[in-house]
Structure 1
Amino acid sequence: MSYTVNCSILLTELPLWERPAAAKAAGFDNVEFWWPFAESVPADRDVAAFERAITDAGVQLTGLNFNAGDMPAGDRGLVSWKGRCSEFKDNIDVVAGIGERLGCKAFNALYGNRQDGCTPEEQDELAVKNLAAAAEGVARIGGTVLLEPVSGAPAYPLLTAADALAVIDRVRAASGARNIKLLADFYHLAVNGDDVEAVIENHAKDFGHIQIADNPGRGAPGSGQLPLDEWITRSRELGYEGCIGLEYKAPQAEAFAWAVRERSDAR
């Protein structure tokens, strides 16, 4: 199984730039990150430090978020956020540059919370324009924009696969962009009450990426009750060929115990 470690939510006991090497030491060759900077256009030296952390660790960056705002404070993306459009647009070139230098092709664009003082229609119209711009910006490096439903954020409007797919259809109709796909996070979909099995049956071959965590607790695979192995296997059977993103919460000491067991069982 080809896994990729989300170094923004895992290995948090370590400084951010040390986490790719820790993922490698734990036996993984791939990593992904949320946007690892405080601003949309970070200093060149900070970008270089991030890139060195990846290359020095000998891992492949498989996924990177666009700037999503202040995530700890509750922000969930700039795509539909009126008043911060220039920040998102400026971020596109930086993201594409990192992707080009590190060979990363998948870029997650969090949609953004609903705002007081703006109608949903106004935000959705802006989101279509911004997603089209993002798709155009990463197309030059063969990149794909990902859009995901999210749980645990009451003001975030994309809760189900159908919600995200409707936006993707709007972007494609408005711009002709084909390089925008669903990020199927099985944890978020399950917590939001979506029919994960049906989503897989209908859309697995077109998934842009899969991420996993168990429920309850957003813990490691096997810590809860979700049939993650079954869902992954079925997605593979139906044509999904990408990595499986490990985006769960667990202390470093026990974060990958399930993977060690899985490797042992495979021998």
Structure 2
Amino acid sequence: MKRRGFIKKAGLSGVLMGVSGGLAFPSPRDNNKADAFTMDFAPHFGMFRNHAPGGIIDELKFMADQGFRSFEDNGMLQRPVEIQEQIGKTLDELGMRMGVFVIDGGDNWKVSLATGKQEFLDNFLKTCRAAVDTAKRVNAKWMTVVPGYFERNLPLGIQTANVIEAMKRGAEIFEPHGLTMVMEPLSDNPDLFLRHADQTYMICQAVGSPSCKILYDIYHMQRNEGNLIATMEKTWEEIAYIQIGDNPGRKEPGTGEINYENVFNYIHQKGFKGILGMEHGNAQAGKEGELALIEAYRKVDVKV
């Protein structure tokens, strides 16, 4: 499933389902909360809709009850202000952290910062400024950035320089607020400019800001280059956020070929204190599928 699919799906959850505490229906949660996961896994809206029929606030409470300590929402920037504020309040009450949301200015997905065109840069920076306000409402620290498509009319070096300049400008906006853009190399199609961890590492090194780092999505990197642990080791200095999805299929760990138990042990041994976003679908439908997903994460969680 492509990123926009996750955004649209999550957005519909907020629009079509009750979002206020007064409108929420009781969920069939157990009274006893589960133990917290060792690793800071972060689900997204829609993963547990069958166990939390009252809407997105009820779903956040269900996540907390199951031992999840964080949450991410690609489409947060597009949600109404009052919904952002309610989500932020609920996360604070539950003691949960906010993971990434996408700095999505619309056109920057297909037309690219790699072109160096002023109108694309202006739109990106405008969206960065809006992201600061959203981050404050939900106490977010990280925002996903995708530079866009490869520009076939320009040499690769020129495109890279254009992206570096855009990231420098974005970092100038985020640094005073202690916020971090995390650039994500993707595997959705071969037209994307940013596809590899070392390429992203190079850009982050050139920008030279704590507000410009790598989002290492294990699913995408398995598809694009594999050799996951060795690649993470080489680029670790710039990795600030990690996302999860097994391959093939982009579902929970244990449904594909990736040895997530080993990968999570490596990440834990590195002393990673950040969030691991569960950016994937459920392998099975309904309540049984949601319980199977939780069990899959229990199985691969680091044992301490």
In 2 relative to 1, CA 47–224 (structure 1 residues): closer, same or farther, beyond 3 Å? same
1:228 pairs with one of 247, 257, 260: 260
2:82 pairs with one of 34, 38, 48: 48
Query: 1:47: how far off?
Result: 2.4
Q: What is the match of residue 248 of structure 2? A: 216
CA RMSD of aligned residues (A): 3.1
Query: 1:125: how far off?
Result: 2.9
In 2 relative to 1, CA 193–252 (structure 1 residues): closer, same or farther, beyond 3 Å? farther
**Is 1:31 paired with 2:31?**
no
Say whether the 8 Å CA contact 2:215–2:241 is kept in structure 1.
Answer: yes
Q: What is the match of residue 97 of structure 2? A: 60
Say whether the 8 Å CA contact 1:18–1:53 is kept in structure 2.
Answer: no
1:86 pairs with one of 110, 119, 122: 122
Distance between the aligned counterparts of 2:107 and 2:89, measured in 1? 27
Q: What is the match of residue 6 of structure 1? A: 44
**Is 1:260 paired with 2:260?**
no
Distance between the aligned counterparts of 1:262 and 1:220, measured in 2? 8
Distance between the aligned counterparts of 2:178 and 2:97, measured in 1? 16
Say whether the 8 Å CA contact 1:204–1:240 is kept in structure 2.
Answer: no
2:133 pairs with one of 97, 109, 117: 97
In 2 relative to 1, CA 191–13 (structure 1 residues): closer, same or farther, beyond 3 Å? farther
Say whether the 8 Å CA contact 1:187–1:213 is kept in structure 2.
Answer: yes
Say whether the 8 Å CA contact 2:168–2:207 is kept in structure 1.
Answer: yes
Q: Aligned letter for 1:215?
A: N
Percentage of matched positions with identical amino acids: 20
Q: What is the match of residue 189 of structure 2? A: 153
Distance between the aligned counterparts of 1:197 and 1:255, measured in 2? 28
Distance between the aligned counterparts of 1:218 and 1:249, measured in 2? 6
Q: Which runs of 5+ in 1 are unaligned?
A: none
Query: 1:76: how far off?
Result: 5.8
In 2 relative to 1, CA 19–222 (structure 1 residues): closer, same or farther, beyond 3 Å? farther
Q: Aligned letter for 1:257?
A: A
Say whether the 8 Å CA contact 1:215–1:223 is kept in structure 2.
Answer: yes
Distance between the aligned counterparts of 2:261 and 2:237, measured in 1? 17
Instruction: Give CA-to-partner distance per residue, 1:162-211, whole Å, 9 cap, x none.
Output: 11111112222xxxx23321111111000112321212333335420110
Q: How many residues align?
A: 251
In 2 relative to 1, CA 135–11 (structure 1 residues): closer, same or farther, beyond 3 Å? farther
Q: Alignment partner of 2:203: what SS?
A: helix
Larger radius of gyration: 2
Distance between the aligned counterparts of 2:278 and 2:138, measured in 1? 20
1:184 pairs with one of 210, 216, 221: 216
Q: Alignment partner of 1:257: what SS?
A: helix
Query: 1:262: how far off?
Result: 5.0
Distance between the aligned counterparts of 1:157 and 1:91, measured in 2? 20
Q: What is the match of residue 19 of structure 2? A: none
Query: 1:13: how far off?
Result: 8.6
Distance between the aligned counterparts of 1:50 and 1:215, measured in 2? 32
**Is 1:19 paired with 2:19?**
no
Q: Aligned letter for 1:65?
A: V
Q: Which runs of 5+ in 2 are unaligned?
A: 1-38
